[in-house]
Structure 1
Amino acid sequence: MEERKLALQPEEIHELNSELEDRSPQEILEYAVNKIEKIAFACSFGAEDVVIVDMLSRIKPDTSVFYLDTDVLFPETYDVRNRMVEKYNLNLIAYRPLLTLEKQAEQYGESLWQVDPNQCCSLRKVEPLQRALCELDAWITGIRREQAPTRANAGVVEIDRKFGLIKWNPLAKWTNKQVWDYIIAHQVPYNVLHDKGYPSIGCIHCTRAVKPGEDLRAGRWSNFEKTECGLHQ
C-alpha cells in the first residue's frame, strides 16, 4: 500500500496519546472529531460500538459512520443496525465485498471460512475497509485493551500503520462493565445475541456463544489459531 501523509505528526500523536490517556471517552471523541475533518467511525454494532454511536450523537451527530456488510452477518446484527438508524437518524454507509458469496465460491470453493478464514476475512472485511478508509485521515474504533492480548497495548490515539492513517480508540481503557453500565444508563439499543452468550459478534459461520469462564473472544474462529479478522493488526 502506498504510504500516506498523516494528518498529525508522529510526535504530536505520541503527545496526544499521553495527554488524553486519562480523559473520558467523550472527551477523546470530542477532541478527535473537532481536530480532524476527514474522520469516520467504523461500527460493527457490538456493545462497544453502539456506545460510541450514542456518544457521538451527543457530541457531533453528523459524524460519518460506516459498517462492513459481509453478507453473512447475523439477523440480530441487521436488527440492531435498523434500530440504531431509527433512534439516532444515522446516515449509515455500507461497504460490501467486491465478490458476492456465489462468486467467492466459484473462485475459492464453497465455505471458504472453513478452509481459509484469513482469506475470507481479507475478501469480506479487509478489502472493503481499505476502500472505506482511503479518503479519510482518521478512523474511530470500539476496541478495548481488555478484549484480547492483541489489543492490550492499544493507545487512545495511534498510528494505524496497516492502513496508513490515524486511529482513535476512545474506549481503549474501559472495562466490559463500564460498557454495559453505559448501555443500561442511556438505554442504548444493543444486539440481543449479547444476552445469549455472545460477547463478541462477527459473521454467522465464524462466531459461537462462549462457555462460562471462557475468554470474551473465545467464540470467534474457535476452531482456528486466529483471534483477529485483520482490521486491527
Structure 2
Amino acid sequence: MISATVETPNLDLFQVNQQLENAEASSVVEWSAETFSNGLIMSTSFGIQAAVMLHLVTRIMPNIPVIWVDTGYLPVETYKFAEQLTQRLELNLKVYQSPISPARMEATHGKLWEQNDVAAFDLYDRIRKVEPMQRALQELNAIAWLAGLRKNQTEHRQGLTRVEQQDGLYKIYPILDWNARDIYRYLTSHDLPYHPYFDRGYVSVGDWHSSRPVSADDDNERDTRFRGLKQECGLHLPQTAGEAQSLDSSSL
C-alpha cells in the first residue's frame, strides 16, 4: 500500500540538531514520528547489527515501512536472518530490487565486483542499490528516512549530524553516536540476534562477493567491504545531476 502524500515541513536544522544533540535514540525516533508521521520510512540491510534499529524503531512505530534493497547477491544467511527478524518483529517489509537481473547485468557489464576498479563498483551500486532505493522512496512518498548510520563507520559519517537534508529528503540517524559497546548492550538487553556472520569474524556484511572478515590491518569496519577501495555504497551520499539521470533504468 502506497502512503498518501505528506507535505514536507520546513525545518531549521541547526535548531533541530541542538534540540536533539543529547537526546536518547528512542527520543529521536519519537520526534521523527511526530514530525513526519506517515511520510517517515526506515531502511535496513539485514546486516550484522540490523536488529538494533529495527527493534528500536518498530517499538515506537510498529507499522513503519521498512525498505530492504535486495541486490540478488546476498549470502544465504542474510536471507534467513531477514526472514527471522521480519517474523519476530512483524515488520512492514518493502522489498525492492533492480529491474535489471543479475544475469543481464553480468552479460552486459561483466562481473563488476571482479574489476578491482572504483568506477566499476560505483556502477554496480547504482544498478543494484541506488536505483531501487530511490524508486522505493518515490513510490512510498517518503519525506524522511531513518537510518542506522554511526559516526565511527566511515570518514563521511564522522561529519554527519542527527538530522540532515539530502536531495530534498530529511535523513535521521538515531544511533549516530553509538559505539560497539552501545550496540552490544542494546542487543543483549533485548535478547536480539546478530547476523550469523558475526561469529565468522565479520563486523559488516553486504553482498557475498564484496564482504570479508575484519583483520588487524583494518582502520574501521567498512574497510572490509568493496575490497577496501571505497567505504560508501552510494545510498547515503548526495547525488550529482548526472548520477540522478543515470538512475533511469533505460540508461543502465
User: TM-score, normalised to structure 1's length?
Assistant: 0.91
Which residue is equivalent to 1:180? Answer: 184
Q: Give the deviation of 1:155 after TM superposition.
A: 1.1
Unaligned runs of 5+ in 2: 1-5, 238-252
Q: Distance in 2 between matches of 1:60 and 1:136?
A: 15
Which residue is equivalent to 2:240? Answer: none
Q: Give the deviation of 1:47 after TM superposition.
A: 4.0
Q: Distance in 1 between matches of 2:27 and 2:48?
A: 19
Which residue is equivalent to 2:165? Answer: 159
Q: Give the deviation of 1:190 after TM superposition.
A: 2.3
Where do residues 88-107 of structure 1 align in structure 2 (5 Å cutoff)?
A: 88-107=89-108
Q: Distance in 1 between matches of 2:105 and 2:213?
A: 27
Contact 2:48 2:205 in 1 (8 A): no
User: TM-score, normalised to structure 2's length?
Assistant: 0.84
Which residue is equivalent to 1:112? Answer: 112
Confirm or deny that 1:219 pairs with 2:220.
no
Give a deviation string over 1:139-168, Cα, whole Å, max 9, x none.
11000001111100111111113xx20001
Q: Distance in 1 between matches of 2:126 and 2:7?
A: 24
Contact 1:48 1:143 in 2 (8 A): no
Which secondary structure does the structure 1 equivalent of 2:215 belong to? coil
Give the % identical residues.
Answer: 30
Q: Distance in 2 between matches of 1:102 and 1:8?
A: 42
Confirm or deny that 1:147 pairs with 2:148.
no
Tell me the number of residue pairs that the alignment of Structure 1 and Structure 2 aligns.
224
Q: Distance in 2 between matches of 1:25 and 1:99?
A: 37
Contact 2:29 2:57 in 1 (8 A): yes
Q: Distance in 1 between matches of 2:233 and 2:210?
A: 10
Which secondary structure does the structure 2 equivalent of 1:76 belong to? helix
Contact 1:156 1:168 in 2 (8 A): yes
Which residue is equivalent to 1:15? Answer: 15
Give a deviation string over 1:155-199, Cα, whole Å, max 9, x none.
1111113xx200011011111110111011101122011121111
Which residue is equivalent to 1:132? Answer: 136
Q: Distance in 2 between matches of 1:104 and 1:183?
A: 37
Which secondary structure does the structure 2 equivalent of 1:200 belong to? coil
Q: Distance in 2 between matches of 1:199 and 1:178?
A: 15
Contact 2:48 2:197 in 1 (8 A): no
Confirm or deny that 1:229 pairs with 2:233.
yes
Q: Give, as a single letter, the amino acid of the residue that structure 2 aligns with 1:35.
A: T
Where do residues 29-48 of structure 1 align in structure 2 (5 Å cutoff)?
A: 29-37=29-37, 38-48=39-49
Which secondary structure does the structure 1 equivalent of 2:42 belong to? strand
Confirm or deny that 1:25 pairs with 2:25.
yes
Q: Pick from 195, 202, 207: which aligns with 1:203?
A: 207
Give the RMSD, CA atoms, in angstroms. Answer: 1.6
Contact 1:48 1:171 in 2 (8 A): no
The list of structure 1 runs, each at least 4 consecutive aligned residues, that deviate by more than 4 angstroms after superposition, is none
Unaligned runs of 5+ in 1: none
Q: Distance in 2 between matches of 1:52 and 1:101?
A: 29
Q: Give, as a single letter, the amino acid of the residue that structure 1 aligns with 2:226.
A: W
Which residue is equivalent to 1:77? Answer: 78
